[in-house]
Amino acid sequence: MLSDTYTPCVQLSRAIQEGAQLIDVRSAAECAQGMLPGAINLPLDEIETALERLDFDRTLLLYCRSGQRSEMARQKLSQMGHRDCRNIGAYSTFERCA
């Protein structure tokens, strides 16, 4: 049985295997220090001008340093019509999942 520490990793892996797109909404400088494998960097302030980088037919999994910016991104994307975007929270929760 997996410990609770690994549950977020299992859930993240499963979502990605099912086709979710992983979006890091932190700044480029923050991402230079590390990102989750397979994630694309799309800083919060660029969300509205870089929609071509997002696949609106897929689930979007958004994360940042604390979960606050990813929640703002989720709200923006929902207002723009994306039906399945989720704030998965803080990078630190998943950085050991690689």
64 classed as catalytic: yes
| 70 conformational bin, left if phi > 0, alpha if psi -120 to 50, beta if neither | alpha
CA 59 to chain centre: 10
Give me the residue label for tokens 């859930």: 11
Looking at 9, 31, 64, 97, which residue is catalytic? 64
Question: Active-site residue numbers?
Answer: 64
